[in-house]
Amino acid sequence: MPQTRAEMEPQAAAVRILVVEDEAFIRFAMAEALREKGVSVVEAASADEAWQYLTAGGSVDLVFTDHRMPGSMTGAQLAARITTQYRIAVIVTSAFFNDLEWSEPIVVKPYNLFEIATKLVKEAMKIRQKESGL
């Protein structure tokens, strides 16, 4: 009998990723690619919206954020706030990045959607396993 997606990726269902992207098509495409892998996805159209979600008690394992967005903060500023105040992994993406507030590696746009979605799921699952002591 063929296995269902939940049986093949049982831990992915427990993983939650926050996708922060002001370009609706890019955000939707990434969110759908992650959902196809069994991940729970929260979407935000700006760093401000993502920050509101987190400060309201929203729970995620990983944040994937664009850098250049409208609003009061960039993706790098959001990432810096998150890593200062929460124990949440953050991955920043950008087509053009020249910010000194984020010294971690970034995912350069354009990227292969399915390749990056797979990497995000693996990273989030690794974080989840580490937190649960597995």
Res 134: pLDDT: 58
Class of domain 11-132: alpha beta
pLDDT, residue 102, reads 79
Cα 9 to Cα 12, 43, 57, 71: the distances in Å are: 5, 22, 27, 36
Distance between terminal CA atoms of the chain?
29
* Structure tokens, 27: 């955000």
Predicted local confidence at residue 1, as pLDDT: 42
* Omega before 105 within 30 of 0, i.e. cis: no
Positive or negative: CA dihedral 76, 80, 81, 87: positive
pLDDT at 98: 77
Instruction: Return the ∠ at Cα 47 (arms to 43 and 53), rounded to 5°.
Output: 55
Kindly report the pTM of this predicted structure: 0.86
Token pair belonging to 101: 């507030």
* 90 and 107 Cβ atoms separated by less than 8 Å: no
pLDDT at 104: 86
The overall average pLDDT reported for the chain is 88
Is the pLDDT reported for residue 5 higher than 70? no
The per-residue pLDDT for 2 is 45
Residue showing tokens 């706030």: 81
Mean pLDDT of 81-98: 92
